[in-house]
Amino acid sequence: MAFGEVIGQEVVKEALGRAVTVGRVCHAYLFVGPRGLGKSSVARNLAKAVNCRERGDGWEPCDVCPSCRQVDAGNHPDVRWVEPDGASIKIGQVRNLLRDAALKPFAGARRVFVISGADKLTAEAANSLLKVLEEPPTFALFVLTTAFPDAVLPTLVSRCQWVAFRPVGQEVLAAHLERELGLDPAGARLFATLSRGNPGLAREMAGSAALAQAVGLVREAMERLRASDGPGGALVAFEVAQDLEAFKVDGLEILDLLAWIYRDSLVQALEAGDGVRVGIVEAPESRQHPARLLAGLRHIEEARRRLRAHANRRLVFDVLIHKLRTAADEVIF
Ligand SMILES: [Zn+2]
């Protein structure tokens, strides 16, 4: 996988790409950002780029020369990865690594040391690494990664070039998820939003059986509500309320998912472009779709508020689903 295939992170890729192209790669970088944003992928690509034999004038590694292949396979003699051994990265691990740092590269141009989870370095290990970073060996390139920069020894941080990884734009991520995982547009938008622009987390969510079950449940609930116009409608609504209320998965509240679906449908309806100013004017009959979705969203927010206030869960769902019956027709999901 090349730099260009890391999703988002344009600022990071441009800065590192420029450094590679002009031959001014630093001795030490600190990659900062939550798990899932591509820190390891970028570190791997940087290791490939500085050692690639076929890179030419550009900054992308060729991905096919023996050096690139070895980095990808994890057996390049000049590229080492260090990860926590149990709960921490210990002094012995760092000593091993530092012995090699002073040597000339075996095969490539730079010896690259990726220290994954720099916040897990023990005080001893961090101080040992610091001594080397104070006078870095000519051929060494250190990449430290962390999701918790506050927990990294401050003097170590000050020796590194800080590189911030940020959430990916949700449209960019959704488009990527559609292509990569073959998700439908609504599903791709859902995971892009719920993961807050985190590609790694979005992939995990897309593969989560519990979340898939929740999505299926809500989709089915909407279908049943749409079909519940007739005399037995109230009964159907009670059944739907019971099914949704009974759904329990750690860390996932079905109302959060429902709120997302209404919000997303509202955005879709507005983007479809009849220019209704929802919430400011009462929409006329022919343009009532966004208004009904907005009303639905308000009902869901009210239900969430009541649940937080420890109202009776079953009652909250009964009331909510009865109110949502009128808006169910407008949900695009
Ligand atoms: Zn190459």
Distance 173 CA to ligand 1 centre (A): 27
Count Cα neighbours of 269 within 13 Å in the Cβ-side half-sphere.
23
pLDDT of residue 32: 97
Per-residue pLDDT of 10-48, as tens digits, reads: 999 999 999 999 989 999 999 999 999 999 999 999 999
Taking phi first (over 0 means left), then psi (-120 to 50 degrees means alpha), and beta for anything else, what does residue 293 get? alpha
Higher pLDDT pick, 270 / 17: 17
Distance in angstroms (rounded) separating the CA atoms of residues 41 and 20: 16
Distance 49 CA to ligand 1 centre (A): 7
Distance 39 CA to ligand 1 centre (A): 20
Distance 66 CA to ligand 1 centre (A): 7
Q: Does residue 76 contact residue 107 with C-beta atoms inside 8 Å? A: yes
Distance 61 CA to ligand 1 centre (A): 5
Distance 52 CA to ligand 1 centre (A): 4
Q: Mean of the pLDDT values across residues 155-179?
A: 95
What percent of the chain is predicted at pLDDT more than 90? 53
pLDDT of residue 2: 66
pLDDT of residue 129: 95
pLDDT of residue 33: 95
Distance 32 CA to ligand 1 centre (A): 26
Indicate whether 285 pLDDT > 50.
no
Kind and range of the H or E run holding 185: helix 185-194
Kind and range of the H or E run holding 141: strand 140-146
CA angle 305, 293, 219 (to 5 degrees): 85
Per-residue pLDDT of 185-201, as tens digits, reads: 888 988 898 888 999 98
Distance 71 CA to ligand 1 centre (A): 9
Indicate whether 263 pLDDT > 70.
yes
Indicate whether 50 pLDDT > 70.
yes
- 282 pLDDT tier (thresholds 50, 70, 90): very low
Q: What is the mean pLDDT of the chain?
A: 87
Q: Mean of the pLDDT values across residues 195-219?
A: 86
pLDDT of residue 280: 40
A 10 A CB-CB count for 18 gives: 12
Distance 70 CA to ligand 1 centre (A): 9
Distance 55 CA to ligand 1 centre (A): 6
Distance in angstroms (rounded) separating the CA atoms of residues 201 and 192: 9
Distance 51 CA to ligand 1 centre (A): 7
Distance 109 CA to ligand 1 centre (A): 12
Distance 113 CA to ligand 1 centre (A): 18
Distance in angstroms (rounded) separating the CA atoms of residues 10 and 89: 30
pLDDT of residue 183: 87
Read off the DSSP letter of residue 84. -
Question: Going by C-beta distance under 8 Å and a sequence separation of 6 or more, which residues neighbour residue 117?
Answer: 83, 84, 89, 145, 146
What percent of the chain is predicted at pLDDT more than 70? 92
**φ, ψ (nearest 5 deg) of residue 82:** -120, 130
pTM (2 d.p.): 0.76
Q: Tell me which of 164-168, 226-230, 253-257 is least confident.
A: 226-230
- 4 pLDDT tier (thresholds 50, 70, 90): low
Distance 281 CA to ligand 1 centre (A): 60
Residues 163-186 as b/e (b if ≥16 CB within 10 A, e otherwise) read: bebebbebeebbbbbbeeeebeeb
Distance 50 CA to ligand 1 centre (A): 9
Distance 68 CA to ligand 1 centre (A): 4
Beta strands in 49-97 (DSSP E): 79-82
C-alpha closest to that of 199 among 325, 40, 27, 305: 40
Which residue is it, tokens 């009652």? 315
pLDDT of residue 268: 77
Kind and range of the H or E run holding 142: strand 140-146
Distance 35 CA to ligand 1 centre (A): 27
Indicate whether 255 pLDDT > 70.
yes
Indicate whether 108 pLDDT > 90.
no
Report how far apart, in Å, the C-alpha atoms of 259 and of each of 36, 88, 254, 277, 308 are: 25, 40, 9, 20, 15
pLDDT of residue 274: 54
